[in-house]
Structure 1
Amino acid sequence: MAEKGLRTKVQRFGGFLSGMIMPNIGAFIAWGIITALFIPDGWIPNEQLATLVDPMINYLLPLLIGYTGGQLVFDKRGGVVGAIATMGVIVGADIPMFLGAMVMGPLGGYLMKKVDDLFQDKIRSGFEMLYNNFSAGILGAIIAGIAVRLIGPLVEGLNNALAAGVEVIVNAGLLPLASIIIEPAKVLFLNNAINHGILSPIGLDQVTETGKSILLLLETNPGPGLGLLLAFSIFGKGTSKSSAPGAAIIQFLGGIHEIYFPYVLMKPALLLAVIGGGISGVFTFSIFNAGVVATVSPGSIFAVLAMTPQGNYLGVLAGVIIAAVVSFLIAAFILKTSKSDDEDLTGATGKMEEMKGKESSVAGTLKQDEEKAPVESDQTAEASDVKSAGDVDKIIFACDAGMGSSAMGASLLKNKFKKAEVENIDVSNTAIKAIPDDADIVITHKDLTDQAKEKLPSAEHISVENFLNSPKYDELTERLKQ
């Protein structure tokens, strides 16, 4: 129980980190494109446009992270104070303060919340705006000053220590072995804590120094998952074989790596396949001295290539292809020599949900016939404060990071609405901590419903076992169609 509790806490921590990074991925991509194109070694060097590179990575990106972190804790007031606090660590250090932003943003939001808890109820009528503005301004100024003198240098020292450790590992040729940790962590959904908490900040620091980083490819390489799913496409049995080709397309082109996790859990020995693929891929990247210029998200081959700088395409493509080949060969050997016929993909999906304590995104992509698809029991889904069709304008799918499963679930419901001619209802997805106040219906995995209710108790909450294979969608469509 203690181990499961610890894993859940780490997962929540990873989800919170993702909640700070994911909404700002567009800014990271913009910075990566500008860097790849306009720096002196870029595709089309331009001295004037290249001046955007340093201000964006030193100020824009950390401030966005800091604001988002504060907003997750205490809405817009928390976001403003979080951004002010982040400015303190930016000024107090000589390196891009991504780690500092991940600390100061939520801290600023938390402290603003505590100050409001102490004083807001004591403010007399008519003085609310005066209090709101000055309390945020005074608190922000104090935190920023402390950050400049204390927290900035402290975080810079921690960042330098982590970077030095990574450099030692790289120089010793041991970086490929990181896949021994990363690939199993992905199956347990601990990759967000590793990727966004450690690899991305250090990798982006390397980008500012060398123009690229291999660290940004360690977790996002789509090769190992592709090889595994191709092996199931040829040597799998039953549902796993028929569903694997569609899953491979979503994983490799769409970047949703979560879709191959149940295939691994069906046969835990297949961890050897993705680990082997990861190790061979990183080893190939190292041989070619390949890297990318910005965070790759989602882990799609298109996103990987978009962030690849000039002169690195051969190495990056070789790493992805070799990772896929090695993963395929190992997985094929395991599948062919396995004596077990118990390949229950639905059971593996349930096992993954139990292990992760959160949503899965595989079953809805299996392309099964309706009569063969696993049917969710009415007892596994619950709704509160059921709203009539005329009262519903906005439906929100929510998960930890606001991407992946919830995005695919929202897409599925949009298609159902379109076919049923249900119009004028906005369907979108978001992080659990960013559910908008005007949402009428919130759809979450059953393990996240309580959090969603705390965030927006006034909405109707629909709890499902699986975002992509719930009969609740058909029920909701029929209800709103009427």
Structure 2
Amino acid sequence: MLFLNNALNHGIFTPLGTEQVAETGKSILFLLETNPGPGLGILLAYSIFGKGSAKSSAPGAIIIHFLGGIHEIYFPYVMMKPMLFFAAIAGGVTGTFTFQLLGAGLSAAASPGSIIAILAMTPRGGYLPVLAGVLMATIASFLVAAIILRTDKSEGDSLESAQAATQAAKAESKGQETSTSGDVKAVTSEEVQQIIFACDAGMGSSAMGASILRDKVKKAGLDIPVSNKAISNLTDTPNTLIVTQEELAERAAQKTPSAVHVSVDNFLATPKYDEIVSALSGESAGVQPINQESADAANTESNEIDLNQIDEVIFAYGKARGSVTMGEATLKAIFKNKSIGIPVAKEANDQLGKFNVKNILIVSTIANQTEVQKYAPNAQLLIVDSLVTTPEYDKMVARMYK
């Protein structure tokens, strides 16, 4: 929660844990930072006792956190209610105590910190202690968070504001400027022949970020490969664009001085991807990111969507459907909480023709907007920046009752 989780895990716990593995075959140190229990308990509490967009987005965040191993997803939820630091502490202490009591340990570092990676690194016969520690951590943090959220009488805080505050605090804790501006002026199609997303482990959020940009590059008609790697595996090759998080930019630059570097504050939600695509497409630096005007128009239209006239909501996807599945789960949770009986499903772009009627609402991202309008021009369209954390779902539901 001090935003030094990667530094602690890879800089301290991993080297010490590796030494213990050589001696005993396992180490509890690999479980201290990667335990998803504390965050899972907090997100479960928000799913039941939260308010507003925080409650509606928590189920999707649970999938990203617990299965995807991206623990940073729950930080904004704690920043919204600082008292929840005690829930995170209670979960961490309880989990560590249980690990120690039962002799739990992993044979190698689990990265990202998902339950899947953790179980993959659990020695044979050691599953029960590991799962017990995760479960007890979840229960402890859930109970403390539930008490805090149930006794909180304030109105629902803005999740978007908390996310911005989280990014600022993360940068400040590492001695960085909190500005999110980035320089993509050096990015040109002549200078860039490949794009690499680099992070500590080369997995998790960097893989998802690479998938997002890969889709944007493909839709722009650019033949540029996009991949992801750990910073330690980078090689200094020219004509390469390295995309990193801001706190890792200096390390990446030292490792690959010949490459072009762009840093972002969040691999999963940043406007710089559109700027990169625009630069690679040869558009001037002063031009707005691609699709910006159409996105603004679509967002204006979304303000007029009347759910009373909608018979079904469809989430559209191309090749990747991960964020669509999470978005679908988020909207289903909102509808269930508000007792709205409109069915929600997901469908591939090329199957949208059967939904090409005005009583169908299709939800998509800016990158996928052109494909959706190609196959279902008559359907109502809601374009969002993020399928999981967008505030548009709550606004749309609120309008339903006016």
TM tier relative to shorter chain: 0.5 to 0.7
> More strand per residue: 1 or 2?
2
Which residue matches 1:145? none
Which residue matches 1:363? none
Pair 1:473–1:359, CA change in 2 (3 A): farther
Which residue matches 2:154? 340
Name the SS of the counterpart of 2:104 in structure 1.
Answer: coil
Name the SS of the counterpart of 1:221 in structure 2.
Answer: coil
CA distance in 2, matches of 1:213, 1:444: 30
Which residue matches 1:431? 231
Name the SS of the counterpart of 2:242 in structure 1.
Answer: strand
- Report deviation, 1:429: 4.3
Which residue matches 1:240? 54
Which residue matches 2:332? none
Pair 1:383–1:331, CA change in 2 (3 A): same
State which of 170, 182, 206 in structure 2 corresponds to 1:356.
170
Pair 1:439–1:334, CA change in 2 (3 A): farther
CA RMSD of aligned residues (A): 3.3
Q: What is the one-letter code of the residue matched to 2:184?
A: A
Correspondence 1:196 to 2:10 = yes
Name the SS of the counterpart of 1:380 in structure 2.
Answer: coil
Correspondence list, 1:261-272, <5 A: 261-272=75-86
Q: How much identity, in percent, do the aligned residues show?
A: 56
CA distance in 2, matches of 1:231, 1:350: 22
CA distance in 2, matches of 1:200, 1:466: 24
Which residue matches 2:382? none
- Report deviation, 1:330: 1.3
CA distance in 2, matches of 1:443, 1:219: 25
Unaligned runs of 5+ in 2: 283-402
Pair 1:440–1:358, CA change in 2 (3 A): farther
> More helix per residue: 1 or 2?
1
CA distance in 1, matches of 2:117, 2:254: 35
- Report deviation, 1:394: 0.7
CA distance in 2, matches of 1:209, 1:435: 33
Contact 1:398–1:435 (CA<8 Å) still a contact in 2?
Answer: no
Which residue matches 2:197? 397
Count of aligned positions: 278
Name the SS of the counterpart of 1:326 in structure 2.
Answer: helix
CA distance in 1, matches of 2:233, 2:105: 33
CA-to-aligned-CA distance 1:308-334 (integer Å, 9 cap, x gap) = 223322221111112112211211221
Normalising by structure 1, we get a TM-score of 0.50
Pair 1:411–1:436, CA change in 2 (3 A): farther
Correspondence 1:227 to 2:27 = no
Which residue matches 2:330? none
Correspondence 1:380 to 2:181 = yes
Pair 1:307–1:444, CA change in 2 (3 A): closer
Correspondence list, 1:95-134, <5 A: none
Q: What is the one-letter code of the residue matched to 1:416?
A: K
Pair 1:414–1:200, CA change in 2 (3 A): same
- Report deviation, 1:273: 1.0
Normalising by structure 2, we get a TM-score of 0.59
Contact 1:358–1:445 (CA<8 Å) still a contact in 2?
Answer: no
Pair 1:429–1:193, CA change in 2 (3 A): closer
Contact 2:111–2:201 (CA<8 Å) still a contact in 1?
Answer: no
- Report deviation, 1:428: 3.0
Which residue matches 2:269? 469
Name the SS of the counterpart of 1:195 in structure 2.
Answer: helix
Correspondence list, 1:28-427, <5 A: 187-341=1-155, 343-357=157-171, 380-387=181-188, 389=189, 392-399=192-199, 402-427=202-227
User: Is the radius of gyration larger for structure 1 or structure 2?
Assistant: 1
